[in-house]
Amino acid sequence: MARTKKPPRESLQPDECLCDYCSAKCCRYFALPIDEPTRAKDFDFIRWYLLHDRASVFVEDDSWYLLVHTRCQHLLADNLCGIYETRPQICRDYSTEGCEYEDDWTYDRYFETAEQVAEYAEAVLKKKAGQGLRSPRPALLPIA
């Protein structure tokens, strides 16, 4: 089937398949849940993830995920599945009901670089007693 301009989800007819118009975003990455970082060591692991090519981390509904941008080896040039009849169960369970068909998908937080994670960690981790995010208050000038 030749692909045409992607119609809005709600305009598709009941017999039409959303996947026939999609760019197969769901087949171009996988995301694994990770524990929410609470210590400097946890953030350091996330920094390490992001030092690897094609990795990012996102937060959605208070859950943290490692996102690996990698194309499924069975994704065909027409964005359809080359092993549809024998695809893994996780693919069978995936529904187009809440998929990323629209291009306006956003995350609560999204990290692409180790530096972004380091800055975020610095902002959220508790500081040592008496230490805040701001510079210390300077001494008052003497009154002349």
Write down the pLDDT at residue 4.
59
Encode pLDDT of 13-37 as tens digits. Answer: 888 888 888 889 999 999 999 999 9
pLDDT-based confidence at residue 101 (cuts at 50, 70, 90) = confident
Encode pLDDT of 63-87 as tens digits. Answer: 999 999 999 999 999 999 999 999 9
Candidates 23, 24, 43, 26; CA nearest to 34 is 43
Look up the pTM and report it: 0.77
Beta partners for residue 68, in sequence order: 30, 55
CA angle 6, 57, 125 (to 5 degrees): 140
| Total H helices, total E strands in the chain | 3, 4
pLDDT-based confidence at residue 131 (cuts at 50, 70, 90) = low
Say yes or no to pLDDT of 123 above 80.
Answer: yes
For helices 40-50 and 114-124, the axis angle rounded to 10 degrees is 160
Tokens of 99: 């998929």
**Domain assignments of the chain as residue spans, ordered by start:** 16-122
DSSP secondary structure string for all residues of 48-62: HHHTSTTEEEEEETT
Task: Check residues 61 and 104 and name the one with the higher pLDDT.
Answer: 61
pLDDT-based confidence at residue 108 (cuts at 50, 70, 90) = very high
Contact 7, 48 (CB under 8 A): no
Tell me the percentage of the chain whose pLDDT exceeds 70. Answer: 90
Q: Torsions phi, psi of 110, nearest 5?
A: -145, 125
